[in-house]
Amino acid sequence: MNEVVKNSFLFIGLIVIQVTILNNINFLGYINPFLYILFVIVFPVRRDRGLLLVLSFLLGLSIDFFLDSGGVNAAATVAIAYFRLPLIKALTRKTEIDFPLFKIIRLPFLKLLSFIAIITLTHHLILFSLEYFKFAEILTILSRTILTSIFTIILIIFSLLLLNKNK
């Protein structure tokens, strides 16, 4: 399948799944995983980072529109989109020549897991910090970040397996 078509499907599909199903889970009263950041994780690695930044902003903002949450999802998603490339470089020691053939899923499992974990934790920490917006709430922010991250990471790994089985 064409890469552009595939990524557009993923973009819209992730918003639909997030809004219709995942935002209504309310596990333990408040835990809702944010699977939509899967888009930032699987988006093809390129030298040109502008497109990913803009798409991440639009993805986050769409979620914000549905959740009435201002710009918290947009801010968090743009941040992980920006720090994705430096993180991949640090984890894999790959150079820009390798990128056209590089696929996130081909990473050894431990590296893949730590990549997903760092991305997810960063995203959730920014998200909840901006949402609560109070230093006094630091404990709530941390506990929500960690609990929600666990669910998001598990979901992302399952989705990655599922996406790759189809090929």
Which positions touch other proteins (CB under 8 A)?
19-20, 26, 29-30, 32, 49-50, 53-54, 57, 60-61, 64-72, 74-75, 78-79, 82, 130-133
Minimum CB distance to other proteins, residue 166 (Å): 26
Name the residue nearer to other proteins (CB basis): 10 or 19.
Answer: 19
Name the residue nearer to other proteins (CB basis): 67 or 157.
Answer: 67
Name the residue nearer to other proteins (CB basis): 3 or 68.
Answer: 68
Q: List alpha helices for the chain, DSSP H.
A: 3-20, 38-42, 50-67, 72-92, 109-132, 138-165
Q: What are the phi and psi torsion angles at 31 (to 5°)?
A: -90, 115
Q: Which residue, among 117, 32, 18, 29, has the nearest Cα to 60 in the 3D structure?
A: 18
Minimum CB distance to other proteins, residue 98 (Å): 19
Minimum CB distance to other proteins, residue 60 (Å): 7
| Distance, CA of 33 to chain centre | 11
In this structure, what DSSP letter does residue 44 have? P
Name the residue nearer to other proteins (CB basis): 53 or 150.
Answer: 53
Minimum CB distance to other proteins, residue 82 (Å): 4
Please give the angle made by the CA atoms of 105, 36 and 54, to the nearest 5 degrees. 95
